[in-house]
Structure 1
Amino acid sequence: MENELILSKLNRIEKFIFGLKDILNVEELCEYTGFKKSFIYKLVHEGKIPYSKPNGKVLFFERKKIDAWLLQNSHQSESEIKREAFLYARKK
């Protein structure tokens, strides 16, 4: 039981550290996003994800660009829409 707790805490620390890195490789991107390696390669092949390939072989991903890519096409919640409508009505 105690070993499981230690492993769980180590996993959380590792994920936190990935969040601090600016450049990620494929394995780190898998950990960061929760995507499978094959899905990441598919996204790269289809040109749907921002990446860099400086030597023509190894893939690298800029975390800030990945964050922006993950958050693209976001939708507002109902409460955000209501708040925006309230503020707009108050202005007029």
Structure 2
Amino acid sequence: MTEQRKLLSTREAAEYCGFKLSYFRKLMMRRAIPMYKPTGKLCFFKKEDLDAFLTGVRISSQEEIAKEANRYMAGRK
């Protein structure tokens, strides 16, 4: 990828996300990942969109859940 180009190819985007190309293509077919198709054939991706996809669903740790439960129980007394 050149320094001037800000969009990633499908292969580059899959590598950036750490996915196998076949799995990344499945995500594309499900339209789970935002993409750009300027010619209607080739797909391109922005790193910002990929980062948002990768961090879209956060799962709390056991420690965070325990702290929230303690705060909730303290407020009920």
Normalized against structure 2, the TM-score is what?
A: 0.70
Q: Which runs of 5+ in 1 are unaligned?
A: 1-20
Amino acid across the alignment from 2:8: L
Amino acid across the alignment from 2:55: L
* Matched positions, count: 71
Q: Which runs of 5+ in 2 are unaligned?
A: none
Normalized against structure 1, the TM-score is what?
A: 0.60
1:44 aligned to 2:28?
Answer: yes
Correspondent of 1:65 among 44, 49, 52:
49
Query: In the aligned structure 1, how far is the partner of 2:19 from the partner of 2:51?
Result: 14
Greater helix content: 1
**Could you say which structure has the greater relative contact order, defined with CA pairs below 8 angstroms and 6 or more residues apart?**
2
